[in-house]
Amino acid sequence: MARCCRGLYTRLGPQQSSRAWRLFSGCAHNCVGLDRNSLLANVLGVYGRLSSRPPKGGAAFWATLTYYVFFRNIGREVTWKDFVNNYLSKGIVDRLEVVNKRYVRVVFAPEKLAVDGYVWFNIGSVDTFERNLETAQQEQGIEGENKIPVVYSTESDGSFLLSMLPTILIIGFLLFTLRRGAAGVGRSGRGMGGLFSVGETTAKVLKDEIDVKFKDVAGCEEAKLEIMEFVNFLKNPNQYQELGAKIPKGAILTGPPGTGKTLLAKATAGEANVPFITVNGSEFLEMFVGVGPARVRDLFVMARKNAPCILFIDEIDAVGRKRGRGNFGGQSEQENTLNQLLVEMDGFNTATNVVVLAGTNRPDILDPALMRPGRFDRQIFIGADIANVCNEAALIAARHLSVAINQKHFEQAIERVIGGLEKKTQILQPEEKKTVAYHEAGHAVAGWFLEHADPLLKVSIIPRGKGLGYAQYLPKEQYLYSKEQLHDRMCMTLGGRVSEQIFFGRITTGAQDDLRKVTQSAYAQIVQFGMNEKVGQVSFDFPRQGEMTLEKPYSEATARLIDEEVRLVISSAYERTLSLLTEKRAEVEKIAQRLLEKEVLDKADMVELLGPRPFAEKSTYEEFVEGTGSLEEDTSLPEGLKDWNKDRENERKYQKKSKLEEDSLEGWDTK
């Protein structure tokens, strides 16, 4: 009884607990002596009164299950010998019921009820039972009309239902899980939910939640200028349509992770004041076949309903990879999804006033059909990691209880982003610390006396990130490199390994990352940039790290030649660095000893120990003056976009005017 009520509390809720207890107590009292049909009717009646509605569907199922598990009287099993000696011989048996040809239920005469309920016993077969019963009655002297009547019946004892219960529970749990999983993806009540909505898109529509503007995105002015045209089209479509112009259907935002691709897309939607639909590329692919294309179709249906709008697909390389590579069955779903995306962007059923933006940090693996005119017409590179640096600087300032962020906080933030967090608690043995000091001193001295190496800003032997030492350089804003410049960079990178060899006569594992960079540079010079006379002016696709290539685009003989030339290039750089540091041995010794003493050296310390760098270094301002860049954030705009930054320009003019007024007031006070 207690088990029954605990199960009902779970099903019906705690608010009806007292009522359930009273009803089932009465049910248990009334059910004594009732047959199975009356007992089941009592249980169904209790469920009906508790749920205030007829016991249909689930209520009937649970009531039946409760009856079979808790209320069904299964009687008491006895043996054939006990039946004959205790019941048949005493003359209290009214009749025998053979149920399902498996067992016999003993029914007692009402006036001679010997036990509470009934007893039963198993039989091997009906023929054997009949022979044994005939023999037993003859032995007991029961003849003629006094013989015990035998009734044959077929009943359902619930064993089939109980045997199916685990299967029913498993199927119910799976359906419940799928329904909950599909309903919790952010569909905002769309569709039927569960399995019926697995083909619906998981995209989110943001209308009033976007408060990001272009002024909140710093460090990528050229990217903002390129994307302004999309916003102007959404704001003023007639300006283009009257001239018969077609705005580019979409743009790919590329750049390293964390450089603000998603932020720029949100700012675009915020400036255009149109709905912003966002979805992740991996959300198109699920365990069911055909879900990807269905979700793409549903996504563009949603976009057309909200047009004009901006559709942003983040990490599009999940579905936009090149087709025909490594199709072992699992890739076919991705290719079908990509085909549907291509059709939706530029097919017979193209969307109007829907600009598609996509973000990825691997544009080289995208399918060429995505990049052709009519789809993603433009590729916008975003390379500034300013937001992360500013956030780190703010965290550092807050950690030091500063009221404002100053230059020191920004310097620490840049070091944190580039090199990782300082590990001052990591204990190094004296011998290891000395090795790290001479290793970093080798890098510093080699870079100081090589013309094309990057100028050194800071060197440290405090463990940071995965490295035991750290050197910070100021690279130039340079996009083209000569063979000599790459060779100098290789020599500077090998400076640590060479310094260990000179001062200790042995090498350590600390140069592993340096050797990896040198090897990549050497292979790139020969395989990609055509900087080797023997291999020639050729360029092959260089596989990215982690990519599986089944065949190389060149022969085995060419591969052997490339490997030989790579070893020669690295050996040449190593010998040159060895000669340089052997000549500058005293300088390396000075830097290493000062590092062991102070742990951190900056450019002023290097000038003090080594003297001025023998090669002239241009300041950032001088490089901008000689180059074609601009120190101003805003670049000149076409006539159609002249009003784009009008508010910002007015704000700048107001600030300049206020500053001039303040300067004039200060001059008046001085007079």
pLDDT digits (tens, 9 = 90+) for 433-471: 899 999 999 999 999 999 888 878 888 888 876 678 878
Instruction: Flag whether 420 is in a domain.
Output: no
CA distance 136 to 88: 9
491, pLDDT greater than 90? yes
CA distance 343 to 349: 8
User: Of 582, 602, 623, which closes a domain?
Assistant: 623
CA distance 136 to 125: 16
Same domain, 435 and 316: no
Single-letter code of the amino acid located at 280: N
Same domain, 211 and 149: no
Where is pLDDT greater, at 655 or 57? Answer: 655
pLDDT-based confidence at residue 385 (cuts at 50, 70, 90)? low
Closest of 299, 306, 303, 309 to residue 233, by C-alpha: 309
> Tokens standing for 91?
């003359």
Q: How many domains does the chain have?
A: 3
Same domain, 357 and 250: yes
CA distance 40 to 38: 5
Instruction: Flag whether 424 is in a domain.
Output: no
Q: What is the CATH number of the domain that holds 105?
A: 3.40.1690.20
2, pLDDT greater than 60? no
pLDDT-based confidence at residue 384 (cuts at 50, 70, 90)? low
Length in residues, the chain: 671
What pLDDT, on the 0 to 100 scale, is given for residue 455?
79
**Residue 477 falls in the annotated catalytic set:** no
Same domain, 375 and 437: no
Q: What is the mean pLDDT of the chain?
A: 76
Instruction: Flag whether 491 is in a domain.
Output: yes
CA distance 505 to 4: 82
* Residue 250 three-state SS: strand
Where is pLDDT greater, at 184 or 291? Answer: 291
575, pLDDT greater than 90? yes
Pick the most confident of 154-158, 414-418, 603-607.
603-607
pLDDT-based confidence at residue 225 (cuts at 50, 70, 90)? confident
420, pLDDT greater than 80? no
Q: What is the mean pLDDT of residues 320-341?
A: 73
Q: What is the mean pLDDT of residues 284-301?
A: 82
What domain range includes position 104? 76-153
Whether the Cβ atoms of residue 263 and residue 212 lie closer than 8 Å to each other: yes
What pLDDT, on the 0 to 100 scale, is given for residue 185?
45
What pLDDT, on the 0 to 100 scale, is given for residue 659?
67
What pLDDT, on the 0 to 100 scale, is given for residue 339?
87
First to last CA, the chain: 102
Q: CB neighbours of 330 closer than 8 A, spacing ≥ 6?
A: none
Where is pLDDT greater, at 658 or 337? Answer: 337
304, pLDDT greater than 90? no
**Catalytic annotation, pick one of 440, 500, 565, 587:** 440
The pTM for the full model equals: 0.55
User: What does DSSP say about strands 276-280 and 204-206: parallel, antiparallel, or unpaired?
Assistant: antiparallel
pLDDT in tens, 138-156: 888 888 888 888 998 887 6
What pLDDT, on the 0 to 100 scale, is given for residue 147?
86
Instruction: Flag whether 512 is in a domain.
Output: yes
User: What does DSSP say about strands 103-108 and 354-360: parallel, antiparallel, or unpaired?
Assistant: unpaired
Same domain, 279 and 354: yes
Q: In what order do the strands lie in the sheet with 119-122?
A: 76-77, 119-122, 103-108, 93-99, 150-153
Instruction: Flag whether 23 is in a domain.
Output: no
Q: What is the CATH number of the domain that holds 519?
A: 1.20.58.760
Whether the Cβ atoms of residue 507 and residue 501 lie closer than 8 Å to each other: yes
164, pLDDT greater than 50? yes
Instruction: Flag whether 162 is in a domain.
Output: no
Q: What is the mean pLDDT of residues 18-47?
A: 49
CA distance 382 to 365: 18
Torsion sign, CA atoms 524, 525, 526, 528: positive
Share of the chain above pLDDT 70, in %: 69
For residue 308, whether the previous peptide bond is cis, meaning omega lies within 30 degrees of 0, is: yes
Same domain, 119 and 234: no
Same domain, 222 and 133: no
Q: In what order do the strands lie in the sheet with 470-473?
A: 470-473, 456-460, 600-602
Same domain, 230 and 364: yes
Same domain, 234 and 332: yes
What pLDDT, on the 0 to 100 scale, is given for residue 561?
94
In the block, tokens 């072992």 appear at 328
pLDDT in tens, 512-568: 889 999 999 999 999 999 999 999 998 887 666 555 565 678 888 998 999 999 999
Instruction: Flag whether 356 is in a domain.
Output: yes
370, pLDDT greater than 90? no
Same domain, 480 and 577: yes
* Residue 262 three-state SS: helix
653, pLDDT greater than 60? yes
CA distance 249 to 253: 14
Instruction: Flag whether 413 is in a domain.
Output: no
